[in-house]
Structure 1
Amino acid sequence: MSSLKTSINKDMMRPTGRVVGIIKRNWRPYCGMLSKSQIKEARRHLFTPADRRIPRIRIETRQADTLEGQRIIVAIDGWPRNSRYPNGHFVKNLGSAGDKETETEVLLLEHDVPHQAFSQAVLSFLPKMPWSITEEDMKHREDLRHLNVCSVDPPGCTDIDDALHCREIGNGNLEVGVHIADVSHFIRPGNALDEESVKRGTTVYLCEKRIDMVPELLSSNLCSLRSNVDRLAFSCIWEMNHEAEILKTRFTKSVINSKASLTYAEAQMRIDSATMNDDITNSLRGLNRLAKILKKKRIDNGALTLASPEVRFHMDSETHDPIDLQTKELKETNSMVEEFMLLANISVAQKIYDEFPEFALLRKHPAPPPSNYDILVKAAKSKNLEIKTDSAKALAESLDKAESPAFPYLNTLLRILTTRCMMQAVYFCSGMDNDFHHYGLASPIYTHFTSPIRRYADIIVHRLLAVAIGADSTYPELTDKHKLAEMCKNLNYRHKMAQYAQRASVAFHTQLFFKTKGVVNEDAYILFVRKNAIVVLIPKYGLEGTVFFEEKDKPAPKLEYNSEVPSLTVEDTTLHMFDKVKVNIMLDDSNIQHQKMRMVLVEPKVSSKDEPEKKKKKLQK
């Protein structure tokens, strides 16, 4: 008995403390809406921030009537000790709540995404047009314009970072090249353009707009490796045998002239075509064949292939409203490009680390603590499948085996769940860390080199590589590991916020989509069971939501949660992880500032046998 007592007490003993002083305020301007005072002609009102974690703010304004129903920005001035609310003042009106432009602006502000137009100071460092390659530019460069280089990207892509080529060379081996836009040629260390790019850290892709990291002249023109124009590149060139083994690697600044800008579908069509045998098509076939071998090696090595239910919206060309959703379909050519980008990133990581062991900018993906996998293992076990998690390789292999002929979608669900168990990948400086391993890719070292138009980390990696091969000079900040570590911190923050902003954009567009749809009845799968709810995934829309079983003003159903199985019994119906269910989806816009998707379980039908009985008792009370 006593041991039970101590275990209970231990669980209940939580260290507590109290705030005695605030050293630094972390206030920022907040977006939200005015909650107008009920008192006529009042000047003092409360402001409700969009971020639910922020308290309401008391402000004074004479424009309450015009600000009602608008999204506004308010700043905090102070928080008197005896007041329930901080005091603040009105800063700016963003526009009507629910309006697409306004909501996008709120979303960017709330996720701290720098999105103002580029200043004149920044633009003054752009090359003057018309631009062309000079003899000076060619000094440290190889002329590779004769090669059959092409790019493969999603449709409508204007910021083309990378291009590829593959050809047979005299000794029977293959020469494979990854050519990356030479952004660091245009963005020189320390000027206003560089400072702005490092502050932004990354390009942010929302559903219908892109917030560029670098001005459009570079992102969509001079640095974009479009076809049939000369472009400056940084090339990583391998000599490989037909088994995709690397015999030699070299890096060079170059000039290329891409022969084709293809979409994934167009590239796939060429590879599969029975009649096409031109140089570009043959180059693509060579790349595709090698990529398959590289992918197999990677997977044999223990790399993970995880699923995420990604969704793209089809926009109405006039109104830009979402009219249809499609789940992303991946072609072989997506994988082909990915394999060579990964290979280039690994090759460059090794090179800059060999050259600068103290200040290489690398990217690592920590292995998750074993307890992260508990939920995955339990869920698989409930379907009589075993998931091993002692290494990435064991995990990858058991995921491959976890198939159920009667339930083909189960494997995807397990992979989605595995993604949730993972840690975040982060940038770090090699001199400040000793664990370099990239768990998801099963690579001992990794970095980002292949997307300098849309990621600042890649620009630093380009600068390090250029110094390593003698193609450019160094500068003090580049070899200061403390400055690099600070920069990595900002880049990790910006990447995280960009990810959240992208998710918020998808959520907002999903709401717009369902606004016109009314109530929709769809198949769903249970991803998680909670104590009083289930989290479901609707594959058709790549949409996730929570079905709550306790509702206001309704008698609470009998709920029994079992964390071992994971299952939740509602009255007489037991729901397990991965069960297929049917739900009604509708938009709940009762709170204009926090609109949300509401989901209600339709099948299996959960009914309470003693419903009338409960009502009777309630009345008697």
Structure 2
Amino acid sequence: MPKEVVAEKIVKKKEIVDEKSSDKNLDDSSEKSSRKQDRVVVKLPKPSYVHPDDHIHTKRKALFAPFMSPKDIKVEIRQGKLYSGTLRINKRNRQESYVTTDSLDGDVFICGQHDRNRALDGDIVAVRLIDPEKAMEKKREHDMRRRDEKNRAQDKNGDPSVGKRNNTADDTKPKSKFFGVVVGIISRVENPAFSGTIDIERSQQKSKKDSDNKSRPNEKDKHKAHPFWFKPTDLRVPFIMIATRNVPPGLLKNEAKFKDHIVVVELVEWPIDSAFPFGKIIQDIGQVGELKTEAKAVMLDNRIKDSPFSPKVLNSLPSTPWTIPVKEYKKRRDLRDTRVFSIDPATAKDLDDALHVQPLEDGNIEVGVHIADVSFFLKTHTALDAEAYDRATSTYLVDSVIPMLPSLLCEELCSLNAGVERLSFSVIWKMDLKGNILDTWFGRTIIKSCAKLSYDDAQSVIDGNKLPSTVKLAGHTTDNVESDIIHLYKLSKHMRSRRFENGALSMNSIRLSFNLDDNGDPVGVWIYEMKESNRLIEEFMLRANMSVAEKISEAYPEQALLRRHIPPIERRMEEFLGLARELGYTLDASTAGTLQASFDAIEAKDIQTVLKILAIKSMQRAKYFCTGSFEPEKYSHYALNVPLYTHFTSPIRRYADVIVHRQLECALQKKAGCGYQKEDVERIALRCNQKKDGAKNAQDQSIQLYLARYLDIMEKKGSIISPAIVLQVTSEGFDVLVPEYGLEKRINVKSLPLEKFKHNPEELCIDMYWKKNSIPCREKPEKPSDDDSETDSKSSIEQIPDTDIVDTRPLDNIPGIPVVKLSQESVMEVAVYSSENLQKVKPFTRLDVLIQAEMNRSPPIINVYPVNPFATYPKTFPKI
């Protein structure tokens, strides 16, 4: 029955009832007869669609709105009544989430769990826009209730009224220009299984509460096991109830064993009448805090597929020993005699790219970028191609690589190893002496690399030295290779300078590297410093990606797979610029170029670093997309400040690059179609985006895991005290950056041993009145809070920008690279007033912090505490 008809009958029923209630002279019999007739007329049919989770099997009321049917969702999306996109939940506050959709020029803010309607982080959802004013009012009421609950408890460390006054500061600012509610889940996050721990205490409390509510327990229920509560590692995932029927026998017999074990729970359902989803335990992966166990949890939570390649996939590989087919020599440009070499991390095994440079008779220069021809081996509609699509990217962890392709391809047949002939896909430019492109050639080639150089090898030449004696060359002289490096370096300097003059933005983040011992434990850590050799490779890879983007978008304006980086979130950028002005720095963020120029104008490098970290919070990640999905003006890449960009240079480790190779081949053959419909490219782009985000998150979490383990080991030798820069101050705390370890942490002053504290918004500072000789530190195991906002976590928890730095692989584990140090000139010490035990904390000031790691939690965490200048610190703290 059409919805309009149903609605009309409901209205008529209401009108009839109103008429009856006003007519007091009707006798009982006629009233009953009339009501009976009304019931027949307005009887509503059963809904044509009911989602499995929307069936109510209990007497409880529905807590959520029922999901719309997939058919209706598709219709209303086409009509512009609904919007689809990926849901992202704020890790600091689960009540706030956003839907990123390509159809609007901003994210859709979802307020609260009710409006999120059982959707999980990463789900593709359908949202309906709602009135922003009403949504903000609802949010303010919700926030007020949360604050009232918190403020009922008196805080010994500060004046509660201060927190109450200042907590409302940001409530009047809308979170987004769009507000909405989730009306359906188009597709759940892949494999909805999560790692975490069984909350034994919560489970027992719930069980006791349920039994107390029964006046007379049923005799049969006495011997039934109580349900358990699962607390996911990921703070964005709610508690999950494990029903009795899904509780493993081992857990029933020995609850204590599971108290400190990490288990994996699969989501089974989320009924419409339950505040929590239901799940079942599918795996026990080990002890909390063990390095291997925690690493496995990282991969699982980010849905990294690390299982061996199946026999069916391996059967798709070419037979070995393999040689290049004779027909390929006839079809391809033969560059085996050209002096080609690769520059990569010293430990790299999957060599995607190589370069050559040679002078031309007309005084110009020829430069070639040669990329592994993975698409020659990876044929469409094969098990191998399906597996590559499924994985979509290689994942680089501290201790291992989870490859996209079997090792026979990624380390041997495709890898551009030195001294062997390899198939490649090349972009060759004719350039002038300043790196301006005069002509471009694309095509399939055969190369024979003469050397595998590391970044340090190339840097040695750039610094005026020779190649190390350990470098082995095949068929070419050391002098010639050194000369080529210098030529490429000079060209890259011109290209890089011109790129930034044209408005590019550099937002590189701090990157840690580790030394591991034979047991896999970290024994050294440092911050990797980008050198000129890294930037040399970056320039030519970026230029190759741009050239290919121009070619395939021209050939296939509706189906090309490109990559775009949308401008910063406007509200957040305005907040950042306002903060910068209050700190005395006027920045121009009208374009990426003006923002970069503003940063460059600041002489103090530490201040630059702080401001860039604050600016990062307004940035969004670059994404793959299909050209037919957007108007051309939306193709641009904000950080690179170019109109067209794609990924072509890493097909061994990115499936998106494989698709681009296939499209480029079709374009060179001048085929009418690229082999993919628009819908196919949209699906592939979505998949690659999801898996790339997962791989990036896994890499970051792996680094934090190994850093926590390293600090835990170092604590046994003595207290870890390190200098930190204050990034920004809030009403209840401040954010710090610890450059030595690349740590960014938020410090909540309410948790410190203070007599009192006071926030001075006019001075942009917070005054901390310390208790003398009191040391803020981890004195006992901290129980994780159910409230996300109280969690000590990375403060830049929102999306981290991906400005498409070419090399995202693990960096060389070579000791001796200096740690980033704080300069004495640009950052002043935090002011200390001994008479009052007062410490005034302001942005851009420096203070010492105590760092402690907790390996008895999952995931392990790193705590940062400001050093009390009025206390004496012991050499070591006892381990819990």
Same fold, TM-score > 0.5, yes or no: yes
Q: Secondary structure at the match of 1:516?
A: helix
Q: Secondary structure at the match of 2:547?
A: helix
Q: Secondary structure at the match of 1:592?
A: coil
Letter in 2 for 1:283: D
Asked if 1:110 corresponds to 2:301, the answer is yes
Residue 81 of structure 1: how far off its partner (Å): 7.0
Asked if 1:31 corresponds to 2:187, the answer is no
Structure 1 CA distance for aligned equivalents of residues 363 and 183 of structure 2: 74
Residue 63 of structure 1: how far off its partner (Å): 0.7
The answer to whether the Cα contact below 8 Å between 1:379 and 1:577 also exists between their aligned partners in 2 is no
- Which of 511, 532, 542 matches 1:332? 532
Q: Secondary structure at the match of 1:220?
A: helix
Structure 2 CA distance for aligned equivalents of residues 536 and 158 of structure 1: 37
Q: Secondary structure at the match of 2:590?
A: coil
Q: Secondary structure at the match of 1:309?
A: coil
**1:167–1:84 CA distance, 2 compared to 1 (3 A):** closer
**1:86–1:298 CA distance, 2 compared to 1 (3 A):** closer
Asked if 1:463 corresponds to 2:662, the answer is yes
Structure 1 CA distance for aligned equivalents of residues 463 and 272 of structure 2: 72
Residue 171 of structure 1: how far off its partner (Å): 1.6
The answer to whether the Cα contact below 8 Å between 2:393 and 2:403 also exists between their aligned partners in 1 is yes
- Which of 226, 250, 256 matches 2:441? 250
**1:41–1:335 CA distance, 2 compared to 1 (3 A):** farther
Structure 1 CA distance for aligned equivalents of residues 455 and 712 of structure 2: 33
Q: Secondary structure at the match of 2:308?
A: coil
Residue 25 of structure 1: how far off its partner (Å): 6.9
Letter in 2 for 1:582: D
Letter in 2 for 1:248: D
Structure 2 CA distance for aligned equivalents of residues 240 and 532 of structure 1: 56
Higher gyration radius (CA) = 2
Structure 2 CA distance for aligned equivalents of residues 87 and 360 of structure 1: 42
Which residue in 2 is equivalent to 1:612? none
Letter in 2 for 1:326: W
Residue 204 of structure 1: how far off its partner (Å): 0.9
Structure 1 CA distance for aligned equivalents of residues 547 and 763 of structure 2: 45
Asked if 1:149 corresponds to 2:340, the answer is yes
Matches within 5 A, 1:33-48: 33-36=197-200, 43-44=225-226, 45-48=228-231
- Higher mean alpha-carbon deviation, 488-497 vs 48-57, is at 48-57
Asked if 1:314 corresponds to 2:515, the answer is yes
Identity %, equivalent residues: 34
- Which of 593, 599, 607 matches 2:858? 593
Matches within 5 A, 1:118-137: 118-137=309-328
The answer to whether the Cα contact below 8 Å between 1:378 and 1:565 also exists between their aligned partners in 2 is no
Residue 522 of structure 1: how far off its partner (Å): 0.7
Which residue in 2 is equivalent to 1:93? 284
**1:84–1:172 CA distance, 2 compared to 1 (3 A):** closer
Residue 140 of structure 1: how far off its partner (Å): 2.5
Paired residues, number: 591
Matches within 5 A, 1:10-25: 12=137, 14=139
Matches within 5 A, 1:33-432: 33-36=197-200, 43-44=225-226, 45-52=228-235, 53-59=237-243, 60-64=247-251, 65=254, 66-78=257-269, 86-273=277-464, 278-316=479-517, 318-404=518-604, 408-432=605-629
Residue 289 of structure 1: how far off its partner (Å): 0.6
Residue 80 of structure 1: how far off its partner (Å): 6.5
**1:528–1:116 CA distance, 2 compared to 1 (3 A):** farther
Structure 2 CA distance for aligned equivalents of residues 156 and 268 of structure 1: 16
Structure 2 CA distance for aligned equivalents of residues 273 and 135 of structure 1: 43
Matches within 5 A, 1:540-579: 540-551=740-751, 557-560=756-759, 562=761, 566-571=764-769, 573-579=839-845
The answer to whether the Cα contact below 8 Å between 1:353 and 1:430 also exists between their aligned partners in 2 is yes
**1:575–1:258 CA distance, 2 compared to 1 (3 A):** same
Residue 9 of structure 1: how far off its partner (Å): 10
The answer to whether the Cα contact below 8 Å between 1:386 and 1:402 also exists between their aligned partners in 2 is no
Structure 1 CA distance for aligned equivalents of residues 660 and 765 of structure 2: 48
**1:544–1:163 CA distance, 2 compared to 1 (3 A):** same
The answer to whether the Cα contact below 8 Å between 1:165 and 1:284 also exists between their aligned partners in 2 is no
1:528-547 deviation line (CA, Å, top 9, x unaligned): 32331212111111112221
Which residue in 2 is equivalent to 1:528? 728
Structure 1 CA distance for aligned equivalents of residues 841 and 857 of structure 2: 32
Residue 108 of structure 1: how far off its partner (Å): 0.9
1:315-359 deviation line (CA, Å, top 9, x unaligned): 11x111111111011211111000000110111110111111111
Structure 2 CA distance for aligned equivalents of residues 499 and 482 of structure 1: 26
Which residue in 2 is equivalent to 1:490? 687
**1:550–1:249 CA distance, 2 compared to 1 (3 A):** same
Structure 1 CA distance for aligned equivalents of residues 361 and 199 of structure 2: 76
1:51-84 deviation line (CA, Å, top 9, x unaligned): 2332142342321225443222223444567767
- Higher mean alpha-carbon deviation, 92-101 vs 427-436, is at 92-101
**1:325–1:9 CA distance, 2 compared to 1 (3 A):** same
* TM-score for both structures, normalised by structure 1: 0.88
1:460-494 deviation line (CA, Å, top 9, x unaligned): 110011111129x7987x33011111211111111
Structure 1 CA distance for aligned equivalents of residues 728 and 583 of structure 2: 14
Structure 2 unaligned blocks of 5 or more: 1-132, 143-179, 208-221, 468-477, 770-837, 872-880
**1:128–1:474 CA distance, 2 compared to 1 (3 A):** farther
Which residue in 1 is equivalent to 2:808? none
Structure 2 CA distance for aligned equivalents of residues 534 and 461 of structure 1: 45
The answer to whether the Cα contact below 8 Å between 1:48 and 1:57 also exists between their aligned partners in 2 is no
Residue 379 of structure 1: how far off its partner (Å): 4.3
Structure 1 CA distance for aligned equivalents of residues 188 and 418 of structure 2: 51
Structure 2 CA distance for aligned equivalents of residues 370 and 119 of structure 1: 47
Q: Secondary structure at the match of 1:346?
A: helix
Structure 1 CA distance for aligned equivalents of residues 542 and 183 of structure 2: 50
Which residue in 2 is equivalent to 1:5? none
The answer to whether the Cα contact below 8 Å between 2:336 and 2:447 also exists between their aligned partners in 1 is yes
Structure 2 CA distance for aligned equivalents of residues 322 and 474 of structure 1: 54
**1:418–1:605 CA distance, 2 compared to 1 (3 A):** farther
Letter in 1 for 2:842: H
Residue 11 of structure 1: how far off its partner (Å): 5.8
Structure 2 CA distance for aligned equivalents of residues 425 and 398 of structure 1: 23
Q: Secondary structure at the match of 1:325?
A: strand
Residue 151 of structure 1: how far off its partner (Å): 0.4
Asked if 1:515 corresponds to 2:780, the answer is no
Letter in 2 for 1:346: M
* TM-score for both structures, normalised by structure 2: 0.63
- Higher mean alpha-carbon deviation, 270-279 vs 543-552, is at 270-279
Q: Secondary structure at the match of 1:389?
A: coil
Letter in 2 for 1:515: D
Q: Secondary structure at the match of 1:409?
A: helix
The answer to whether the Cα contact below 8 Å between 2:492 and 2:539 also exists between their aligned partners in 1 is yes
Structure 1 unaligned blocks of 5 or more: 1-7, 607-621
Residue 561 of structure 1: how far off its partner (Å): 5.7
Which residue in 1 is equivalent to 2:639? 440
The answer to whether the Cα contact below 8 Å between 1:581 and 1:604 also exists between their aligned partners in 2 is no
Residue 377 of structure 1: how far off its partner (Å): 2.6
Residue 603 of structure 1: how far off its partner (Å): 5.6
The answer to whether the Cα contact below 8 Å between 2:460 and 2:466 also exists between their aligned partners in 1 is no
**1:475–1:217 CA distance, 2 compared to 1 (3 A):** farther
Residue 22 of structure 1: how far off its partner (Å): 8.5
Letter in 1 for 2:678: K
Structure 1 CA distance for aligned equivalents of residues 869 and 584 of structure 2: 22
- Higher mean alpha-carbon deviation, 224-233 vs 27-36, is at 27-36
- Higher mean alpha-carbon deviation, 324-333 vs 264-273, is at 264-273
Q: Secondary structure at the match of 1:558?
A: strand
1:554-580 deviation line (CA, Å, top 9, x unaligned): 778333262x76543445544222221
Structure 1 CA distance for aligned equivalents of residues 846 and 377 of structure 2: 53
Residue 244 of structure 1: how far off its partner (Å): 1.4
Q: Secondary structure at the match of 2:498?
A: helix
**1:468–1:25 CA distance, 2 compared to 1 (3 A):** closer
**1:57–1:400 CA distance, 2 compared to 1 (3 A):** same
Which residue in 2 is equivalent to 1:583? 849
Structure 1 CA distance for aligned equivalents of residues 483 and 392 of structure 2: 37
